[in-house]
Amino acid sequence: MRILGISGSLRAGSLNTRLLRFAAEQPPAGAEVAPWDELRAIPPYDQDVDRARAPESVTRFREAIAAADGLLIATPEYNASVPGALKNAIDWASRPRASTPLQGKPAAVIGATTGSFGAVWAQAEMRKVLSSTGARVVDLDLPVAKGEEAFDDRGALRDEHLRNRLAAILWELVAEIERTREFAVH
């Protein structure tokens, strides 16, 4: 079972990329979290361009989503919402609506910030956006606050409660993938 991991941050020292890497190190049995790191290559959404032929970076993104069994998105919070680059990429992936690879795709959202709230608003916004595309979104969050203090030198979450919550989200995502597969068979 392949879960595509998407960090919503472009920053080299991103807390959300670190969080995604940590999640990739301990997936549930039988699952793998495969980080996708081409967010920077996605151009601003332009329906005129999309009608003719989507840019190669967008095609690769859509194909990566289609090939994955599920999505794990780690989002920072900018001005109480989702970063523009991440929202833009989801906009590209969501079109055309009739053939979006997001339709029926199981997804979960986690997040880390330097502030005290752990990207809870951004996570809620991203779950809303994904739901509107037809994705099957796990209704759990992982608010990693004060992210620069949340990880040890190896990149692991220090707090046992956060580690357990991340494990629960990953297990719920795997369960949603299995439910989706079962539904597709019947």
Three-class SS of residue 130? helix
**Contact in structure between 134 and 100 (CB atoms under 8 Å):** yes
The residue ranges of the chain whose pLDDT is under 50 are none
Handedness of CA 83, 71, 137, 173 (dihedral sign): negative
Measured CA to CA in angstroms, residue 93 lies from 33, 52, 137, 161 at distances of 19, 15, 16, 33
Strand partners, 72: 5, 108
pTM of the model: 0.96
The CATH architecture that domain 2-185 belongs to is 3-Layer(aba) Sandwich (3.40)
Across 119-169, the runs of DSSP E, i.e. the strands, are 136-137, 143-144
DSSP track, 11-75 = -TT-HHHHHHHHHHHSPPTT-EEEEE--GGGPPPP-HHHHHH---HHHHHHHHHHHH-SEEEEE-
Q: Give the start-to-end residue ranges of the domains of the chain.
A: 2-185
Supply the pLDDT for residue 186: 63
